[in-house]
């Protein structure tokens, strides 16, 4: 996990309200408007249903309690305000308790198109709609419990499964590819690239393959994994994931599909 950030999360006041500036609300509005032009016919049905259920304001950043009213009703989840970066142990602990961590800052205009750190737009717009879905919520809860109990070495393998599902997953629906990964859904460039690029490789999701596939956070993904149907997330959660982690450790990683990251001089 990256250990430094230029962003500082905003703290809620005594009534639980986070006071966003006009500029921060404008950035949210512009980000939402841009993505909502792209996502119909690209995002999966479950995500679009979640967007309707949450009914998030488009002209301002939603307050966390507004999201929690819907999430608690639908799946028993809620969102939890966290600093810009949290340790993996805290990340897994929150998921294990059906709390989705949301860093309460929004990207600057200088990083409008791409931000390595998960801001409130990524977490809320990218992920929260699917937390209204029981299959996705169950998968994320199970993942959190497994990660919280796992050691450091196993968590590195589990991170790859999360990356290729929750963050960058695709699913087959009605004969077409659709997006459910929040890392894609909150990125206009990746929303187009993930479905349309002739350079990206796309394979049916085998959890063992995902556990063995290296990734980089700062490039368009060279590999995507596809669910045959959304219900597969529930089935994966019910499988013996940790035995697959042990198998992945014994088999080792696949060769990366990308060059090594250049070190800063």
What would the pLDDT profile of 126-179 be if each residue is shown by its tens digit? 999 999 999 999 999 999 999 999 999 999 999 999 999 999 999 999 999 999
Q: Is residue 115 over pLDDT 90? A: no
Report the C-alpha gap between 55 and 196 in whole angstroms: 29
Question: Residue 221 belongs to a domain with what CATH number?
Answer: 1.10.800.10
Q: List the helix and strand counts (H, then E) for the chain.
A: 12, 6
pLDDT tens by residue, 44-53:
999 999 999 9
Binding site membership: which residues? 122, 127, 167
Residue 264 in domain = no
Residue 260 inside a domain? The answer is no
11 assigned to some structural domain: no
- Annotated binding residues for Fe cation, as ranges? 122, 127, 167
Look up the domain containing 180 and give its range. Answer: 22-251
pLDDT digits (tens, 9 = 90+) for 3-34: 467 889 999 999 999 999 999 999 999 999 99
Residue 12 included in any domain: no
Note whether residue 113 is domain-resident. yes
Number of domains, the chain: 1
Q: Name residue, tokens 């006009």.
A: 22
User: Is 14 part of a structural domain of the chain?
Assistant: no
CA angle 134, 138, 142 (to 5 degrees): 175
Report which of 81, 84, 47, 86 is spatially closest to residue 65, judged by C-alpha positions.
Answer: 81
Position 108 in a domain: yes
């Amino acid at each position: 996990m990256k250990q430094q950030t230029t962003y500082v999360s905003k703290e809620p006041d005594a009534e639980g309200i986070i006071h966003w500036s006009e500029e921060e609300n404008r950035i949210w509005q512009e980000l939402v408007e841009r993505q909502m032009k792209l996502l119909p016919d690209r995002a999966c049905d479950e995500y679009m249903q979640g967007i309707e259920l949450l009914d998030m304001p488009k002209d301002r950043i939603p307050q966390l309690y507004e999201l929690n009213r819907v999430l608690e009703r639908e799946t028993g989840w809620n969102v939890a305000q966290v600093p810009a970066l949290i340790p993996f142990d805290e990340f897994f602990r929150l998921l294990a308790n059906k709390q989705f961590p949301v860093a309460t800052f929004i990207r600057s205009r200088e990083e409008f198109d791409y931000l390595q750190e998960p801001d409130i737009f990524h977490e809320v717009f990218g992920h929260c709609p699917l937390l209204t879905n029981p299959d996705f919520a169950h998968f994320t809860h199970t993942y959190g419990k497994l990660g919280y109990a796992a050691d450091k070495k196993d968590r590195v393998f589990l991170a790859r499964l999360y990356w290729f599902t929750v963050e960058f997953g695709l699913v087959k629906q009605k004969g077409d590819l659709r997006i459910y990964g929040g890392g894609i859904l909150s990125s206009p460039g990746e929303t187009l690239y993930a479905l349309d690029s002739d350079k990206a490789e796309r394979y049916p999701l085998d959890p063992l393959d995902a556990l063995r596939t290296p990734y980089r956070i700062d490039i368009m993904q060279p590999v995507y994994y596809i669910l045959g149907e959304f219900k597969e997330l529930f089935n994966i959660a019910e499988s013996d994931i940790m035995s697959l982690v042990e198998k992945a450790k014994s088999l080792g990683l696949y060769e990366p599909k990308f060059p090594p990251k250049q070190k800063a001089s």
